[in-house]
Amino acid sequence: MQFVAKEDIDAPIEELFEALSDFEGMERSAIRRGVEVQRKGDISAPAPGLAWDTEFTFRSAQRKIAVELVTFEPSTIMAFTGEGSGISSDMEVELIALSPRRTRLTVTLKLKPKTLAGRLMVQSLKLVRGKVARRFKSRVSDFARMAVDKNAQVA
């Protein structure tokens, strides 16, 4: 199952990439939401191999997901893989400069079930695909705008 969200953001590509690759900020945000986050690797120089082990409660069950940064090309692309809870995932974050002050953000998320429970979860998502796709696009848009706004306040 695949979800794609495209958003045109009024920010230079370098500024948007910097905001989206603020992994420390994302870790703090996840911790504030009750997620246990344990980083593996050096965050000062993001590179493929940087990874996180996360643990959180979702629908009354404790979930564990291991996330790894597999591609990191400054100002253009980041890709992550995730494993856990019977599902593996691939997420790609791609940036394209439309003009010096405008950037297109494309986020692609692919979910692949690994177990029967994972298949049931993906199948239930397929039944409400439209709603989930709209929510995914909305969250990507909100996250990008928040990241750019936060980055602008710091600068």
For CA atoms 62, 4, 43, 29, give the dihedral sign. Answer: negative
pTM of the model: 0.86
pLDDT for res 55? 93
pLDDT for res 90? 97
pLDDT exceeding 90 applies to what percent of the chain?
58
**Which carries the bigger pLDDT value, residue 79 or residue 142?**
79
Q: Which domains can be identified in the chain, with CATH numbers?
A: 2-23+69-154 (3.30.530)
Q: In terms of Cα–Cα distance, which of 83, 20, 23 is closest to 53?
A: 83
- What average pLDDT does the segment 121-149 reach? 88
